[in-house]
Amino acid sequence: MKNKKSKNIGTKIIFVLSCTVFIICVILVIKMYTSGSSNREEFSATTKVATVKTKQDASETTTLPDNPIDFKKLKKTNKDIYAWIDVPGTKVNYAVVQSSGKKDDLFYLEHNIYGNYEFSGSIFSQRQNSKDFSDPVTVLYGHNMKNGTMFNTLHKFENKDFFKKHSKVYIYTPKRILEYTIVSAYSFDNRHILNSYDFSKAKDLKSYIKTITNPSSKNKNVREDLTVTKNDNILTLSTCTSTDSERYLVQSILTKITDTK
């Protein structure tokens, strides 16, 4: 009887431990896939609604339009915040950061705008790019989160109808609204773009422009009526795909600048 009772107790203990381990695993998985949602809510709490309310040329008015982003509040949150990105038709509506000081150049790959570790990271650029978007090519990175946050919904541009209907990317800075028109979207290999091309050289820039306007990817979408030249400011949005050997890129060119208060 004692042996049978001991076996029953042991079985119950193992069952309880198994259930506990299972519950912990489920919590960790949920946390991993939902990481970024709190980040997004916190972003929204520190700024005004990031929608384009003014598209007129500032030169046509006597007063400059208001900037819909409250950069003063954002700067109090983190001085590394220098811009805001909004891609209409997607969930991409976030602050943009670039590491400073002694922080690693890829610090925000796994840290939120408060500088705390978070699997989803932030939307960020590397220090190879200036923060005024004046470079020939500016690259912004964001994770492809399965819960639809960060740059996940850029994959909507794989759909031809969606691509045709949505053509804009807006970048807000403390003094300007930069309006970009999307040229193409496609899968690319996983090379580091800023290390693979020297955009100060005409040959490299020409090669990159050719890739943008005539990508060899099987899932490419291209706006045929747009021409990209060496004088254009190109914005490259980069995120992951289902394979480590590829990146998904949404390419756009700067087509309008509006000065703001």
Strands (E), 22-133: 81-86, 93-97, 123-124
Kindly state whether residues 23 and 124 are assigned to the same domain.
Answer: no
- Cβ neighbours around 234 below 10 Å, total: 22
| pTM given for the model | 0.80
Residue 36 pLDDT grade (very low, low, confident, very high; cuts 50, 70, 90): very low
**What pLDDT, on the 0 to 100 scale, is given for residue 81?**
98
Q: Which residue would you say has higher pLDDT here, 26 or 126?
A: 126
Examine the pLDDT at 148 and tell me if it is beyond 90: yes
Examine the pLDDT at 115 and tell me if it is beyond 80: yes
**What pLDDT, on the 0 to 100 scale, is given for residue 15?**
53
**What pLDDT, on the 0 to 100 scale, is given for residue 40?**
47
Kindly state whether residues 92 and 218 are assigned to the same domain.
Answer: yes
Sequence length of the chain is 261
CATH number of the domain within which 144 lies: 2.40.260.10
Return the structure tokens found at 86. 């909004």
Total domain count for the chain?
2
Kindly state whether residues 10 and 102 are assigned to the same domain.
Answer: no
Owning domain of residue 151: 35-259
Examine the pLDDT at 105 and tell me if it is beyond 60: yes
The three-state (H, E, C) secondary structure of 92-109, written as one string: CEEEEECCCCCCCCCHHH
Tell me the C-alpha distance between 112 and 94, whole Å: 11
Kindly state whether residues 22 and 77 are assigned to the same domain.
Answer: no
**What pLDDT, on the 0 to 100 scale, is given for residue 33?**
42
Kindly state whether residues 30 and 132 are assigned to the same domain.
Answer: no
Kindly state whether residues 74 and 142 are assigned to the same domain.
Answer: yes
- Average the pLDDT over 180-203 and give the result: 97
